[in-house]
């Protein structure tokens, strides 16, 4: 929300400068995004009054004007189409300095002397000025300095509010906070009662009282919409980020900015029979004020009349009932809507309005009467008219109730960490417009009645937060807490996630935390078999589906690093993914996956490290370390057929019948499409399966010596080493103490469809020393099993 500092200081004016003011706001939770001047620098410009206008003798588009500056009359040649007798203008005298660096001097335009310049808003840096010269509407004295007359030595402060602070979406709300923070009095808005002059009313019916417990309406007859909005109001709207449209819309916007209550006005001549607040019926249509034609969803809260919808409640009015230049009688409305009934409505229709922003966060249900009176008074002042009585259509049973919350002084001191002064706490609540009652007993406590504008105060801890932020977190002393730390029990079947992360960090990986929302294109590339879940209201197209794997975020981070001249990247992430499990009824599953990427050189740059690139076995070695740490000491790798991975450099990992995950090099086609500038190796493990470690089992160490026998075997080229190991283990049983593959050979002397594999068998018995006869028998048994099962032969 943007707010004019000068406007704010009319309500609360602490004796501090702008910098200290915005710093205190930020420290109290009202984060200030920017502070910008409301006008460019200029001088020598005053309020002038046009007293005569005549055509230029030699230029049809120029006018020769006589301008009074409060002291003398000046002849000025002007080309603006809107110049006329009697208007007050921004007059730059001879010697004036304009924002673009232009110095105003005596000029001769097509043979006519010009002593000064009539300025547009754009030329003064206070607007776009598309309609010609700036017209000053209101009681501005000729000769007064323009900067002083329009209070242009002002700044516009952009405050970013958290969703729970809807009470600060107004000048009055931020003034209330300012009064609390600086201990100054806050002026009330001028909301005097405007009595009805005519008796005209228009009927209102609440068909959905739970969603709209209160609706105020007022008829105002004989308004003159030919009048113009005063410049002071246009300026305040501009400094708050709104443009002037017409007096009625400007007044409703002004009241919304000043008090925080959105309002709307209908053309009374268009309304039929009655106003009805109801839910939309599916298929109903409405043309909005911005010209959009929308088909309404069933359940959308509407303002309607006998002919159909005329507005989406709390969001935007309809074109049919809008105010036009020919409107003579208006129906001014002001309502309270349940935030839950409005939440999400604007987003469903692709809208985002100032009204919906306020209603979604919560509007004070006691504010409507004051807003109605304030808007009526401003309208009559600007466009005249005869107001009728204010008609309140309400359902008291559905209006929010003001609750009372108990705050214990001892609990407050415990949370703050140091003693707090009871009187200071009471004053804080009073300035926040709470109603505190301090009960001094053995254990002091406050009974605090929450005001209607604070929807976010529900529990004792909310009151403690209010005290702390107003007090200032920087004022709370810093000290180390004293507490007893007891060692907890760690289950044997679980390895903590923190240990896993520390291991990956020790292996040289850096942890990344990426979004769960990803680009649909990345989802199709990296997990084409899965159906990604689409978001109903995505923040953007590239964040519109939920991830089914952690690879998209990691690869996006990798690409960002490589584009910034990194030569070695190792990243990991432990994150939740979202998948649809098929079979019967579709079911959403949310597995936590441990993923990682490797790219670049194997070792950091150094004189003794070389520049060899990482390969599949670097990846497999890291995965082996993770599996060993997690208690999976005996696993098998099986060639994978994953379309996202390289067909010759990918595998799945199994512990018995449980698949732990997958690893491999990214498919070369994907590497090319993602422009990874080299091979990328990835892994992904299921955290639940990974951390479900086996119980360690004790096995005695044999007292008898072991012996090793090496075998050189010739096998078909497509037989994996794991198959050789399984075959040998099955044939030798407990006699095999260790199996090791130490050589693979292709080349001269070996058939092109074959390969030579050298393995080492360590043999040992638990009860005796093996003899040569025993050893030979075991080796022969292993060779026989390999010949029978795998077609192997000794080389």
CATH at 589: 3.30.930.10
Residues 622 and 573 grouped into a single domain: yes
Strands 587-589 and 645-655: unpaired
What mean pLDDT is predicted for residues 61-66?
A: 92
DSSP reduced 3-state for 331: strand
User: Where residue 463 falls among pLDDT bands split at 50, 70, 90?
Assistant: very high
User: Where residue 493 falls among pLDDT bands split at 50, 70, 90?
Assistant: very low
| Cα distances (Å, whole numbers) of residue 522 to 516, 559, 579, 597, 645 | 12, 13, 15, 16, 14
CA 594 distance to own-chain centroid: 26
Residues 119 and 6 grouped into a single domain: no
198 inside domain: no
CATH of the domain at 30: 3.30.56.10
487 inside domain: no
User: Where residue 693 falls among pLDDT bands split at 50, 70, 90?
Assistant: low
Is the pTM above the cut of 0.85?
Answer: no
Residues 365 and 435 grouped into a single domain: no
- Distance between CA 402 and CA 238 in Å, rounded? 36
Instruction: Give the end of a domain, one of 638, 665, 691.
Output: 691
Could you tell me if 559 and 680 are in contact, meaning their C-beta atoms sit under 8 angstroms apart? no
Please give the residue that has the higher pLDDT: either 485 or 767.
Answer: 767
- Distance between CA 776 and CA 765 in Å, rounded? 14
Q: What share of the chain is helix, strand, coil (3-state, %, to 5)?
A: 25, 30, 45
In sequence order, which residues have a C-beta less than 8 Å from that of residue 113 and are 6 or more positions away? 75, 106, 107
Q: How many domains does the chain have?
A: 6
Compute the mean pLDDT over every residue in the chain, rounded to the nearest whole number.
90
Residues 509 and 657 grouped into a single domain: yes
User: Where residue 486 falls among pLDDT bands split at 50, 70, 90?
Assistant: confident
Give per-residue pLDDT as tens, 555-581.
999 999 998 888 899 999 999 999 988
* Residue of 600, 571, 596 whose CA lies nearest to 511: 571
Is 60 exceeded by the pLDDT of residue 584? no
Could you tell me if 36 and 154 are in contact, meaning their C-beta atoms sit under 8 angstroms apart? no
Give per-residue pLDDT as tens, 181-224.
999 999 988 888 999 999 999 999 999 999 999 999 999 999 99
- Distance between CA 212 and CA 207 in Å, rounded? 9
What are the tokens at 97? 């300095």
- Distance between CA 80 and CA 285 in Å, rounded? 43
Instruction: Give the end of a domain, one of 367, 395, 423.
Output: 395
Residues 260 and 125 grouped into a single domain: no
Phi and psi at residue 371, to the nearest 5°: -65, -40
- Distance between CA 790 and CA 777 in Å, rounded? 19
Phi and psi at residue 463, to the nearest 5°: -65, -40
| DSSP per-residue codes, 37-101 | ESS---EEEEEEEEEEEEEETTEEEEEEEEEE-SS-EEEEEE--TT--TT-EEEEEEEEEE-TTS
Give per-residue pLDDT as tens, 95-138.
999 997 889 999 989 889 999 999 999 899 898 766 789 999 98
Give per-residue pLDDT as tens, 419-435.
888 999 999 999 999 99
What are the tokens at 294? 């929308």
CA 282 distance to own-chain centroid: 31
pLDDT of residue 379: 95
pLDDT of residue 491: 57
109 inside domain: yes
Residues 425 and 375 grouped into a single domain: no
User: Where residue 33 falls among pLDDT bands split at 50, 70, 90?
Assistant: very high
- Distance between CA 213 and CA 338 in Å, rounded? 8
* End-to-end Cα, the chain, rounded Å: 82
**CB < 8 Å & 24+ apart, contacts of 52-59:** 52/85, 53/83, 53/84, 53/85, 56/109, 56/110, 56/112, 57/111, 57/112, 58/110, 58/111, 58/112, 59/109, 59/110
Residues 532 and 635 grouped into a single domain: yes
213 inside domain: yes
Could you tell me if 672 and 697 are in contact, meaning their C-beta atoms sit under 8 angstroms apart? no
Give per-residue pLDDT as tens, 344-367.
888 888 888 999 999 999 999 999
pLDDT of residue 585: 61
The percent of residues above 70 in pLDDT, for the chain, comes to 98
pLDDT of residue 417: 85
Please give the residue that has the higher pLDDT: either 48 or 538.
Answer: 48
Maximum C-alpha span of the chain: 129
- Distance between CA 451 and CA 433 in Å, rounded? 7
- Distance between CA 632 and CA 688 in Å, rounded? 13
What mean pLDDT is predicted for residues 442-450?
A: 88
User: Where residue 63 falls among pLDDT bands split at 50, 70, 90?
Assistant: very high
Residues 589 and 462 grouped into a single domain: no
Is 90 exceeded by the pLDDT of residue 230? yes
Give per-residue pLDDT as tens, 672-685.
999 998 999 999 99
Residues 374 and 344 grouped into a single domain: yes
DSSP state of 634: S
Structural domain harbouring 100: 43-149
- Distance between CA 456 and CA 452 in Å, rounded? 10
696 inside domain: no
Instruction: Give the end of a domain, one of 691, 724, 739.
Output: 691
- Distance between CA 614 and CA 633 in Å, rounded? 24
Residues 310 and 412 grouped into a single domain: no
Is 70 exceeded by the pLDDT of residue 51? yes
E strand segments, 508-601 = 510-511, 517-518, 545-546, 568-576, 579-581, 587-589, 592-600
698 inside domain: no
197 inside domain: no
Burial of 772 (0-12, 13-18, 19+ CB in 10 A): exposed
E strand segments, 222-284 = 264-267, 275-279
122 inside domain: yes
Residues 554 and 681 grouped into a single domain: yes
In sequence order, which residues have a C-beta less than 8 Å from that of residue 608 and are 6 or more positions away? none
Is 50 exceeded by the pLDDT of residue 383? yes
Is 80 exceeded by the pLDDT of residue 37? yes
Among the listed ranges 440-444, 684-688, 700-704, which one has the minimum average pLDDT value? 440-444
Residues 338 and 292 grouped into a single domain: yes
Please give the residue that has the higher pLDDT: either 302 or 531.
Answer: 302
Give per-residue pLDDT as tens, 235-255.
999 999 999 999 999 999 999
In sequence order, which residues have a C-beta less than 8 Å from that of residue 587 and are 6 or more positions away? 580, 581
User: Where residue 149 falls among pLDDT bands split at 50, 70, 90?
Assistant: very high
Give per-residue pLDDT as tens, 275-316.
999 999 888 999 998 888 889 988 899 999 999 999 999 999
Phi-psi region of 198 (alpha: psi -120 to 50; beta: other; left: phi over 0): beta
């Amino acid at each position: 929300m943007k707010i004019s500092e000068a406007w704010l200081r009319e309500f609360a004016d602490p004796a501090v400068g702008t910098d200290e003011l915005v710093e205190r706001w930020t420290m109290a939770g009202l984060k200030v995004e920017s502070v910008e001047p409301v006008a460019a620098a200029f001088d020598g410009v005053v309020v002038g009054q046009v007293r005569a206008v005549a055509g230029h003798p030699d230029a049809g588009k120029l006018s020769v004007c006589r301008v009074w500056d409060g002291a003398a009359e000046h002849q000025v040649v002007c080309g603006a189409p809107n110049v006329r007798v009697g208007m007050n203008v921004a007059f730059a005298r001879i010697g004036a300095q304009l924002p673009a660096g232009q110095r105003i001097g005596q000029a001769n335009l097509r043979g006519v002397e010009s002593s000064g310049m009539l300025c547009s808003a754009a030329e003064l840096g206070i607007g776009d000025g598309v309609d010609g010269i700036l017209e000053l509407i209101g009681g501005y004295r000729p000769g007064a300095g323009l900067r002083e007359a329009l209070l242009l030595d002002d700044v516009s402060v952009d405050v970013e509010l958290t969703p729970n602070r809807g009470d600060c979406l107004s000048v009055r709300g931020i003034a209330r906070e300012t009064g609390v923070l600086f201990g100054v009095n806050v002026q009330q808005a001028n909301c005097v009662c405007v009595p009805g002059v005519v008796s005209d009313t228009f009927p209102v019916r609440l068909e959905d009282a739970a969603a709209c417990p209160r609706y105020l309406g007022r008829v105002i007859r004989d308004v003159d919409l030919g009048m113009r909005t005063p410049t002071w109001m246009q300026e305040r709207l501009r400094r708050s980020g709104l443009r002037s449209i017409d007096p009625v819309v400007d007044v409703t916007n002004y009241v919304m900015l000043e008090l925080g209550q959105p309002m709307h006005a209908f053309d009374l001549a268009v309304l039929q029979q009655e106003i009805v607040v109801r839910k939309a019926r599916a298929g109903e249509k409405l043309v909005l004020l911005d010209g959009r034609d929308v088909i309404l969803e069933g359940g959308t809260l509407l303002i309607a009349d006998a002919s159909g919808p005329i507005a989406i409640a709390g969001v935007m009015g309809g074109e049919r009932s809008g105010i036009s230049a020919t409107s003579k009688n208006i129906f001014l409305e002001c309502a309270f809507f349940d935030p839950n009934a409005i939440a999400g409505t604007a987003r469903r229709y692709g809208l985002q309005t100032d009204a919906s922003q306020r209603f979604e966060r919560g509007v004070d249900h006691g504010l409507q009467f004051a807003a109605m009176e304030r808007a009526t008074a401003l309208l009559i002042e600007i466009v005249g008219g005869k107001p009728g009585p204010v008609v309140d259509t309400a359902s008291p049973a559905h209006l929010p109730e003001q609750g009372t919350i108990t705050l214990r002084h001892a609990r407050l001191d415990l949370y703050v960490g140091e003693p707090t002064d009871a009187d200071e706490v009471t004053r804080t609540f009073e300035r926040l417009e709470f109603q505190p009652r301090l009960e001094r007993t053995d254990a002091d406590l406050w009974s605090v009645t929450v005001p209607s504008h604070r929807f976010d105060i529900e529990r004792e801890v909310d009151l403690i937060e209010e005290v702390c932020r107003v007090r200032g977190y920087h004022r709370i002393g810093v000290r180390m807490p004293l507490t007893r730390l007891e060692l907890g029990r760690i289950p044997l079947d679980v390895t903590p996630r923190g240990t896993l992360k520390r291991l990956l960090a020790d292996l040289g990986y850096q942890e990344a935390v990426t979004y769960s929302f990803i680009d649909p294109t990345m989802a199709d590339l990296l997990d084409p078999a899965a159906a990604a879940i689409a978001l109903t209201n995505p923040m953007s197209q590239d964040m519109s589906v939920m991830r089914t794997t952690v690879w998209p975020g990691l690869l996006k981070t990798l690409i960002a690093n490589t584009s910034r001249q990194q030569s070695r990247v190792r990243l990991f992430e432990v994150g939740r993914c979202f998948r649809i499990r098929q079979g019967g009824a579709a079911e959403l599953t949310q597995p936590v996956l441990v993923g990682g990427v490797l790219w670049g050189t194997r070792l950091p740059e150094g004189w003794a490290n070389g520049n060899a690139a990482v390969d599949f076995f670097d990846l497999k070695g890291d995965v082996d370390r993770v599996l060993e740490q997690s208690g999976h000491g005996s696993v098998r790798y099986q060639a994978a057929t994953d379309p996202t991975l390289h067909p010759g450099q990918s595998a799945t990992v199994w512990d018995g019948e449980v698949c732990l995950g997958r690893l491999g090099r990214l498919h070369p086609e994907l590497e090319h499409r993602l422009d990874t500038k080299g091979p990328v190796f990835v892994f992904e493990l299921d955290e639940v399966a990974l951390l479900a470690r086996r119980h360690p089992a004790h096995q005695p160490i044999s007292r008898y010596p072991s012996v090793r026998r090496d075998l050189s075997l010739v096998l078909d080229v497509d037989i994996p080493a794991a198959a050789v190991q399984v075959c040998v283990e099955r044939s030798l049983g407990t006699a095999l103490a260790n199996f090791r593959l130490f050589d693979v050979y292709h080349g001269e002397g070996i058939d092109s469809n074959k390969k030579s594999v050298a393995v080492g068998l360590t043999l040992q018995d638990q009860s005796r020393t093996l003899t040569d006869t025993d050893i030979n028998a075991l080796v022969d048994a292993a060779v026989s099993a390999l010949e029978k099962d795998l077609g192997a032969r000794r080389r």
